[in-house]
């Protein structure tokens, strides 16, 4: 059960139902001391690690989805431009610096809810103080993609997402007979 009260989100689960909790947080399988291991290479290539933020509604952000709401409204008190940022093999700080320079805005007017791995493909919510919908639609920076641009009343803040969804590729597996 989800109880959303102002800025707090509370989840309730059936008593003693570990399986329900594990599924909710994304644990599908796990190893125990009885489990035989396997060997492989992790994060060999940046595309071996994909990180997608999970928004406060539980939706996993898409790498490619692209909807744009171009109407910035003073009546609705829109003060920020919010969007999904997909970055490839880039550090979050580096990307924010590049956005700041390309849009000619102060670095601290750009906000995000968390840092993402550099050696990865990742998508996360970003917001910029002001109306930058037009500029973001035409922005071209190598390995940085802007999607789902829309106006908002509030900025993205540190921790303003439920978590991250990971897709991990393990290469050159050995002992694969131990996998189920």
Active-site annotation, residues: 117
CA distance 109 to 128: 6
Distances (CA, A) of 48 to 65, 98, 173: 21, 24, 14
Do 159 and 83 contact (CB within 8 A), yes or no? no
Cα of 22 vs its chain's centroid, Å = 21
Strand locations in the chain, DSSP E?
Answer: 2-5, 8-11, 39-42, 49-54, 80-88, 110-112, 121-129, 144-152, 163-168, 170-174
Do 128 and 105 contact (CB within 8 A), yes or no? yes
Distances (CA, A) of 61 to 72, 98, 157: 22, 22, 16
Instruction: Using only the alpha carbons of the chain, give its radius of gyration.
Output: 19
CA distance 94 to 92: 5
């Amino acid at each position: 059960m989800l109880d959303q009260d102002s800025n707090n989100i509370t989840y309730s689960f059936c008593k003693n139902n570990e399986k329900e909790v594990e599924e909710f947080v994304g644990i599908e399988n796990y190893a125990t001391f009885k489990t035989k291991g396997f060997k492989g290479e992790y994060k060999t290539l940046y595309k071996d690690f994909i990180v997608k933020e999970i928004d406060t509604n539980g939706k996993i952000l898409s790498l490619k989805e692209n909807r744009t709401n171009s109407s910035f409204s003073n009546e609705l008190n829109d003060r920020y431009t919010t969007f999904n940022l997909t970055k490839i093999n880039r550090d979050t700080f580096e990307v924010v610096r590049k956005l700041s320079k390309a849009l000619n805005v102060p670095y601290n007017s750009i906000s995000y809810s968390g840092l993402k791995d550099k050696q990865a493909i990742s998508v996360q919510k970003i917001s910029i103080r002001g109306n930058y919908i037009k500029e973001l639609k035409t922005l071209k920076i190598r390995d940085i993609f802007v999607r789902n641009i829309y106006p908002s009343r509030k900025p993205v803040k540190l921790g303003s997402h439920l978590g991250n969804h990971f897709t991990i590729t393990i290469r050159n597996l050995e002992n694969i007979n131990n996998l189920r």
